[in-house]
Amino acid sequence: MERSIKDSILNNKQYLGEKNYSQKSFLWENMTMGTCYYPEHWIEELWASDLERMKAAGISVIRIAEFAWSKIEPRESEYDFSFFDRFLELCLEKEIKVIFSTPTATPPAWLTEAHPEVLNARIDGVLYRHGSRKHYNYNSPVYQDYCRNIVTQSAMHYGPHPAVIGWQIDNELNCELRDFYSDADDAAFRVFLQEKYETLDALNAAWGNVFWNQTYTDWKEIHLPGLTPGKGVNPHMQLDYYRFIAESTFLFCKMQADILRSYCKPGDFITTNGMFPHIDNHRMTKECLDIYMFDSYPNFAFGLGSNPANEPLNDRWNSKTQNEVRSICPHYGIMEQQSGAGGWTTKMEGPAPRPGQLTLWAMQSVAHGADFISFFRWRTCTFGTEIYWHGILDYDNRDNRKLREVKDFYQKLQTLEPVCNADYVTSFGLLKDYDNVWDMEADIWHNRIASYSDNEIFAGAELSNLPYDVIYLQKDSTLSDLNSYPVLIYPHPVIMSQERADLLTAYVEQGGTLLIGCRSGLKNLNGICEMLPQPGLLHELTGTDIQDFTYASPAEEAVYADWNGTNIPMPVFHDILTPLPGTDVLARYADSYYKGEAALTEHRTGKGRVLHLGSAFSRDTLPMLLKYAGAVSPFTELIEADGKDVELTLRRKNERTFLFVLNFQAAEVSYTLLTPMRALYTGEEVSGPQMLPAFGTAVYEVL
């Protein structure tokens, strides 16, 4: 093969300098295309022609073995490495590189039968049984032992193989099930809490257990949040439960990563795939992995297929998730990129990608920062739950339009070689943190506001072509993680800590503009409401005081605020702001009993300022707010295009700028290039009016 991928990986373990990414950033040297392959699903006679056809299509990497425990250890302590030995030899011969996986996502029947304690349980204690996947729990010492063993055996045996270039841990941690209620989890929860709180008094206070007589007098009385009457769950306990699941997932991943690291060849990477709830993906990536891989199924992004409620964005919602992925790992890979219709026999009835959509969706990933695209899967399985989860090839194994499109995508990808490792360019940053993400799950008031804003900020930014990064505030976050963004939105930091308030203050003082919305600073890290004037610890920074607040009443007409004669919507919730001395009022409520009160304020501190919006964010107001805050579009001098028509992204490397234009619609669209550019697919120099066909993509280098 041209330049060895292995060598690229060896030579390119480096960290980015320009933006201060505190997260790990593995760099690919070449744009690389792959697929997911299951040698165990096919007769061996097919292997050689499969690998040859892959190679001919431009596929140079495959991911294998994530569900194949029994192919290595068919019965307890009986090892047979011959199956994958034969397959890896063939890969070497056919010059296909391999990402080998640990098979812990599917414990074998001999194990679950002998040790049912390895199984996960429903909230009411009923065990999940063998017959699907992800039926195990992270905390069973028995399962951990078996996992340590199979990972060690696999890594020792296959790690040195020259075809292997990297390792995937498990498959999609927390996919299918992200809640754990087995006896092992119950016991581990108590240990987690004992380590965290040390005394029962501290735990009782942190959880507000005096409420409804929940006080514990012995550690053994504490269990995982279980079935309770009337949906009444202690929210503070629930918040710690999510932290506990995240910790359990992290430790399970780290256990495997540590083993792999001691046996895999120097330079081989360790990764995992997917992005699922109740995981601190940032910490997991930083402490366990070399690169994070996402599984991109755009038809999942906001419901399967076209849903009128999601128009006009539909599959563009997948870009929202990719913004999150980039926050974990700026130069990520796509381990599974949708290539066919999605469906299980028991759920999901998805449409096939229209001609052009397979390329469009893959380019959406590249446009956001992925330099490795691996299609799921080479060929649709003819048996099992996923017979309708279609791959590139169909059951008949003939060349088809999807394979032709994969080949065509590869031709395009090769022209994007200079884009490899380029950084995504943004107008602003969106702050998040796991305390608030998990509190949202435990608290529907928090959820209603924060999910509304999260979606609307994406929609508003997307429709007005204002690209953004997501930045998760973590324990070790510093000012340098923030100060490359002139404008930051922290929509609803309902939970606020003194450290975070200090960091935000430092950011504003050195010249940043911070936008925050309603309900900010309401709770402490345990999710307990602060007995402080709101916005609590942010009070001084925002220069506001909140003496009255309410959900936007469903019984009333929508409430607006008047911002210099423009009516701006004030969705979901209203903090009625009282400006403190030195704070300017930009907009006032135009309706309801608080008509005339402040709805949007501006407070200058040091060289920067804070804009405080009394409600959730809406897509209509977002561009106005960002403009006022000083966020600039990176596209202004490059292209004139309607955000409703196309998604635009920019990637930049060493002064070279690449513009992606993506048309998600089933109709032709037009736009105007304002400066000469080179169309990378064709090499032509172009400027002025351009057309993109239905589902078309174009990538330009700005000249």
Residues 625 and 656 sit within 8 Å (Cβ to Cβ): no
Minimum Å gap between C-beta 172 and ligand GAL is 5
Minimum Å gap between C-beta 292 and ligand GAL is 14
Minimum Å gap between C-beta 390 and ligand GAL is 10
Q: Which stretch binds ligand GAL (CB under 6 A): 51-59, 171-179, 548-556, 682-690?
A: 171-179
Coil/strand/helix, residue 615: coil
Question: Which is closer to ligand GAL, CB of 295 or CB of 647?
Answer: 295
d(CA 59, CA 362) in angstroms, rounded, equals 14
Q: Which stretch binds ligand GAL (CB under 6 A): 86-94, 168-176, 477-485, 601-609?
A: 168-176
Minimum Å gap between C-beta 36 and ligand GAL is 7
d(CA 5, CA 37) in angstroms, rounded, equals 18
Minimum Å gap between C-beta 695 and ligand GAL is 22
d(CA 204, CA 218) in angstroms, rounded, equals 11
Q: Among 10, 156, 175, 352, which residue sits at the site for ligand GAL (rule: CB under 6 A)?
A: 175
Q: Among 185, 290, 295, 439, which residue sits at the site for ligand GAL (rule: CB under 6 A)?
A: 295
Residue, CB closest to ligand GAL? 389
Residues 381 and 26 sit within 8 Å (Cβ to Cβ): no
Q: Which stretch binds ligand GAL (CB under 6 A): 169-177, 482-490, 531-539, 621-629?
A: 169-177
d(CA 1, CA 7) in angstroms, rounded, equals 12
Question: Which is closer to ligand GAL, CB of 174 or CB of 465?
Answer: 174
Residues 373 and 420 sit within 8 Å (Cβ to Cβ): no
Minimum Å gap between C-beta 272 and ligand GAL is 11
Question: Which is closer to ligand GAL, CB of 376 or CB of 507?
Answer: 376
d(CA 244, CA 191) in angstroms, rounded, equals 10
Q: Is 434 in the site for ligand GAL (CB under 6 A)?
A: no
Q: Is 21 in the site for ligand GAL (CB under 6 A)?
A: no
Minimum Å gap between C-beta 345 and ligand GAL is 11
d(CA 9, CA 32) in angstroms, rounded, equals 12
- Which of positions 348-387 make contact with ligand GAL (CB under 6 A)? 376, 386
Question: Which is closer to ligand GAL, CB of 41 or CB of 190?
Answer: 41
Question: Which is closer to ligand GAL, CB of 391 or CB of 643?
Answer: 391
Query: CA distances (Å), 608 to each of 96, 399, 483, 487, 515, in order?
Result: 53, 59, 11, 10, 11
- Which of positions 182-221 make contact with ligand GAL (CB under 6 A)? none
Q: Which stretch binds ligand GAL (CB under 6 A): 167-175, 189-197, 509-517, 539-547?
A: 167-175
Task: Tell me which residue of 145, 137, 144, 142 sits closest to 185, measured CA to CA.
Answer: 137
Q: Which stretch binds ligand GAL (CB under 6 A): 8-16, 170-178, 195-203, 544-552?
A: 170-178
Give buried/exposed letters for 489-511 (b at 16+ CB in 10 A, else e). bbbbbbbbbeebbebbbbbbeee
Q: How many CB atoms lie within 10 A of CB 321?
A: 20
Minimum Å gap between C-beta 453 and ligand GAL is 28
Query: DSSP readout, 11-79?
Result: HT-----SS---S-----SS-EEEEE--GGGS-GGGHHHHHHHHHHHT--EEEE-TT-HHHH-SBTTB-
d(CA 17, CA 593) in angstroms, rounded, equals 52
Site string for ligand GAL, 602-641 (x = CB under 6 A): ----------------------------------------
Minimum Å gap between C-beta 102 and ligand GAL is 14
Q: Is 336 in the site for ligand GAL (CB under 6 A)?
A: yes
Residues 324 and 437 sit within 8 Å (Cβ to Cβ): no
Question: Which is closer to ligand GAL, CB of 247 or CB of 295?
Answer: 295
Question: Which is closer to ligand GAL, CB of 175 or CB of 679?
Answer: 175
Q: Is 171 in the site for ligand GAL (CB under 6 A)?
A: yes
Q: Strand pairing of 269-271 and 697-702? A: unpaired
Minimum Å gap between C-beta 132 and ligand GAL is 10
d(CA 299, CA 650) in angstroms, rounded, equals 24
Minimum Å gap between C-beta 389 and ligand GAL is 4
Angle at 620 between CA 615 and CA 626, to 5 degrees: 80
Question: Which is closer to ligand GAL, CB of 374 or CB of 421?
Answer: 374
Minimum Å gap between C-beta 335 and ligand GAL is 8
Which pair of tokens denotes residue 348? 């999901």
Question: Which is closer to ligand GAL, CB of 142 or CB of 304?
Answer: 304
Question: Which is closer to ligand GAL, CB of 101 or CB of 464?
Answer: 101
Distance in Å from the first CA to the final CA of the chain:
31
Question: Which is closer to ligand GAL, CB of 71 or CB of 432?
Answer: 71
Angle at 504 between CA 502 and CA 509, to 5 degrees: 95
Question: Which is closer to ligand GAL, CB of 172 or CB of 454?
Answer: 172
Angle at 559 between CA 556 and CA 563, to 5 degrees: 165
d(CA 631, CA 329) in angstroms, rounded, equals 24
Task: Tell me which residue of 498, 537, 491, 543 sits closest to 517, measured CA to CA.
Answer: 491
Question: Which is closer to ligand GAL, CB of 97 or CB of 134?
Answer: 134
- Which of positions 57-86 make contact with ligand GAL (CB under 6 A)? none
Question: Which is closer to ligand GAL, CB of 280 or CB of 336?
Answer: 336
Q: Among 29, 50, 172, 185, which residue sits at the site for ligand GAL (rule: CB under 6 A)?
A: 172
Query: CA distances (Å), 522 to each of 17, 492, 505, 536, in order?
Result: 36, 10, 17, 6
Minimum Å gap between C-beta 303 and ligand GAL is 16
d(CA 615, CA 24) in angstroms, rounded, equals 35
Minimum Å gap between C-beta 376 and ligand GAL is 6
Partners of 688 in the beta sheet? 673
Q: Is 304 in the site for ligand GAL (CB under 6 A)?
A: no
- Determine the size of the site formed for ligand GAL (CB under 6 A): 8
Minimum Å gap between C-beta 340 and ligand GAL is 10
Minimum Å gap between C-beta 101 and ligand GAL is 10
Query: CA distances (Å), 575 to each of 481, 514, 551, 579, 601, in order?
Result: 29, 17, 9, 12, 12
Coil/strand/helix, residue 363: helix
- Which of positions 577-596 make contact with ligand GAL (CB under 6 A)? none
Minimum Å gap between C-beta 392 and ligand GAL is 14
Site string for ligand GAL, 247-286 (x = CB under 6 A): ----------------------------------------
Q: Strand pairing of 32-36 and 61-64? A: parallel
Question: Which is closer to ligand GAL, CB of 105 or CB of 576?
Answer: 105
Q: Is 389 in the site for ligand GAL (CB under 6 A)?
A: yes
Q: Is 597 in the site for ligand GAL (CB under 6 A)?
A: no
The footprint of ligand GAL (CB under 6 A) covers 171-172, 175, 295, 336, 376, 386, 389
